[in-house]
Amino acid sequence: MTEERKGMFNAIFAYAIWGVFPVYWKLLEHVNSLEILLNRIIWSFVFTCMFIFIISQKKEFFQDLKSLWLNKKMFFGLMAASFVISCNWFLYIWAVTHEHVVETSLGYYINPLITVLFGVVFFKEHLSKGQIAAVFIAFTGVAIMAVRYGKIPWVALGIAFSFAIYGALKKKIQLDAKRGLAIETMFILPFALVLYIYLMSTNNTSFLQLDWKTDLLLIFGGVVTAYPLILFAKGAKALPQSVLGFIQYLAPTLILILGAAVYGEPFTTVELISFGFIWVAIVVFSLSTMIKN
């Protein structure tokens, strides 16, 4: 198997896992969303560090830490990124466990377009006329949904913007995916532990209090967080950005199918029209990008 074929397999598998994430978090909807997040942070750190030690990258891990400490801009940039991605994880978990799966998929559909806007605003990147048109078409789709809800779809926008901010913060921080995830979760780990201790003191926790299935699901939330990130990193190295750009829409498509077909969330004609604008925007943007390149 060629490297590109391996990369394609890894990328598709990563986005497929992200696409069926709601199934996993739905199994924990009886647990407080904040507690799920805290377990996700803690166990992601534990399992990622274990994996780094198993593959003998302990030396590289400490070298990464030393390099970050010597470069304060990168150090605090990654620290900020860790807080932002934690907010993204919380929003996602809350949305899935509170019947907002469809809106979650909307957030991940529009995220790449928000990322493009960030590129223009913060990195002085230039857009083609087709890409500008795509952004306006996507905005129209979001506006239609806002009118449909009678309010702005804050969950979708929160997910899209938080992930775009995370991407912008990490743009100039080149770290191995495994070690990078370990360091990111290490930054937020002290806050997670303190907050978890507080929750335990209020008797408002489920871990070790309900049943072994809940405990295992909370623990292995760290594994299901780390594994697709590792697959994605391998895929991103082997594939052109244009190919990766198309594959990334697999995740929100699966999330949308789960929300509408499996969990019975509303998907009326208005939602179809709104998502239709988003899908057209994606096609226009993708074609414009390929022509530009």
Mean pLDDT, the chain, rounded, equals 84
pLDDT recorded at residue 220: 92
CA 97 – CA 33 distance, rounded (Å): 8
Q: How far apart are CA 59 and CA 183, in angstroms?
A: 14
pTM of the predicted protein model: 0.84
**Integer Cα distance of 68 and 274 in angstroms:** 43
CA distances in angstroms from 48 to 39, 57, 230, 244, 278, listed in the order given: 14, 11, 10, 24, 35
Digit-coded pLDDT (tens) for 181-234: 888 889 999 999 999 999 888 877 888 888 899 999 999 998 888 888 778 777
Per-residue pLDDT at 1 = 60
Q: What is the mean pLDDT of residues 132-154?
A: 79
The span from the CA of 240 to the CA of 216, in Å, is: 37
The CA–CA distances, whole Å, from 188 to 75, 167, 282 equal: 13, 17, 34
CB 116 within 8 A of CB 161: no
Q: Is 273:104 a contact under the CB 8 Å cutoff?
A: no
pLDDT-wise least confident of 25-29, 37-41, 66-70:
66-70
pLDDT band at 293 (very low <50, low <70, confident <90, very high): low
The rounded radius of gyration (Å) of the Cα atoms in the chain is 19
Is the pLDDT at 36 greater than 90, yes or no?
Answer: yes
pLDDT at 244 over 70: no
Give the pLDDT confidence score for residue 83 in this predicted structure.
92
CA-to-CA distance for 1 and 8, rounded, in angstroms? 11
Report pLDDT for 90.
93
d(CA 185, CA 292): 37
95 vs 118, residue with greater confidence: 95
